């Protein structure tokens, strides 16, 4: 028996309100929540949703911590191809892809691992891609007060792939540009060229 099955079986009697709602939902769909394959599904879903929406319970200050450093560096810092997974707030179906985050320091830099953590902080909640992109940019701006911030997110949405228009090869691209990334054409062009340099990244 897998570790996952053991964990689920050990806690099968510990269902919370969310798990009980999932059990009711299964019955409304015409399933038998008591059959073997579904007995622990409500608890599994409850745990999965708690993880996928943990961004609601985090504070940005705790995500970044003390990983901000004084540094006389004025060139672009970019972390690209950050894996990103979120839930569309319209259908509760996943959307996933890559985020590219860049900034130009103004006397302070942040530990590189914190940029992916900022992306996760906002992705792990019910989202729309447009808002997620703006939230990441605003967070980097508030944490560092840099000369500029640029964020591009490229994602595929299961609500478009599995239902509705059923377009499996569509990709949504959103961007948020602040400071010199918005106002200076050369900085903007450099960032966008770097962000779109690997369009093979998804799939």
Domain around 89:
66-195
Please tell me whether residues 83 and 169 are part of one structural domain: yes
Tell me whether residue 89 is one of the annotated catalytic residues: yes
Instruction: Based on the residue annotation, tell me whether 90 is a catalytic residue of this protein.
Output: yes
Listed residues 52, 77, 92: the one ending a domain: 52
Asked, for residue 45, whether it belongs to a domain, the answer is yes
Same domain membership, residue 150 and residue 84: yes
54-75 pLDDT tens trace = 999 999 999 999 999 999 998 9
43 assigned to some structural domain: yes
Q: What is the CATH number of the domain that holds 16?
A: 1.10.286
pLDDT string in tens for the chain (203-residue length): 344 444 545 455 578 999 999 999 999 999 999 999 999 999 999 999 999 999 999 999 999 999 999 999 989 999 999 999 999 999 999 999 999 999 999 999 999 999 999 999 999 999 999 999 999 999 999 999 999 999 999 999 998 888 777 677 788 999 999 999 999 999 999 999 999 886 544 44
Instruction: Quote the pLDDT of residue 15.
Output: 84
Q: What is the pTM of this model?
A: 0.88
Q: Please check whether residue 201 lies inside any domain of the structure.
A: no
Domain assignment of residue 75, yes or no: yes
Number of domains in the chain: 2
Concerning whether 196 is annotated as a catalytic residue, the answer is no
Check residue 164 and give its pLDDT. Answer: 77
CB atoms within 10 A of CB 47: 17
How high is the pLDDT of residue 167?
Answer: 72
Sheet holding 172-179, edge to edge: 126-127, 77-88, 94-104, 148-157, 172-179
Mark whether 180 and 110 lie in a shared domain: yes
Q: What is the CATH number of the domain that holds 171?
A: 3.30.1130.10
Which residues are CB-contacts of 51 (< 8 A; sequence separation ≥ 6)? Answer: 124
Q: Are residues 36 and 105 in the same domain?
A: no
My answer on whether 111 and 139 are in the same domain is yes
- Whether 118 and 187 map to the same domain: the answer is yes
Is 200 domain-assigned? no
Does one domain contain both 101 and 48? no
Asked if 180 is an active-site residue, the reply is: no
Residues 11 and 76 in one domain: no
The single residue of 4, 54, 90, 168 carrying the catalytic annotation is 90
| Residue 57: inside a domain | no
In a domain, 14, yes or no: yes
> What pLDDT sits at residue 11?
52
Q: Is 159 a catalytic residue?
A: yes
pLDDT at 116: 98
CB 50 within 8 A of CB 97: no
Which pLDDT does position 183 carry in this prediction? 96
Which of the residues 4, 61, 89, 130 is marked catalytic? 89
Please say whether the beta carbons of 176 and 129 come within 8 A.
no
Is residue 22 in some structural domain? yes
Tell me, yes or no, whether 40 and 119 share the same domain.
no
């Amino acid at each position: 028996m897998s570790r996952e099955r053991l964990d689920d079986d050990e806690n099968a009697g510990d269902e919370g309100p969310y798990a009980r709602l999932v059990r009711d939902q299964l019955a409304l769909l015409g399933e038998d929540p008591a059959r073997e394959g579904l007995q622990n599904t409500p608890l599994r879903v409850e745990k999965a949703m708690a993880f996928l929406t943990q961004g609601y319970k985090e504070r940005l200050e705790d995500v970044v911590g003390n990983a901000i450093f004084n540094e006389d560096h004025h060139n672009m810092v970019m972390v690209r191809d950050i894996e990103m997974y979120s839930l569309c707030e319209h259908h509760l179906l996943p959307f996933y892809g890559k985020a590219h985050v860049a900034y130009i320091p103004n006397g302070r830099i942040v530990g590189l691992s914190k940029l992916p953590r900022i992306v996760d902080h906002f992705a792990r909640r019910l989202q729309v891609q447009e808002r997620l992109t703006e939230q990441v940019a605003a967070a980097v701006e508030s944490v560092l007060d840099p000369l500029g911030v640029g964020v591009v997110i490229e994602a595929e949405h299961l609500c478009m792939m599995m239902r509705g228009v059923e377009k499996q090869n569509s990709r949504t691209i959103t961007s948020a540009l602040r400071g010199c990334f918005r106002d200076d054409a050369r900085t903007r062009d450099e960032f966008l060229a770097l962000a779109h340099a690997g369009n093979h990244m998804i799939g």
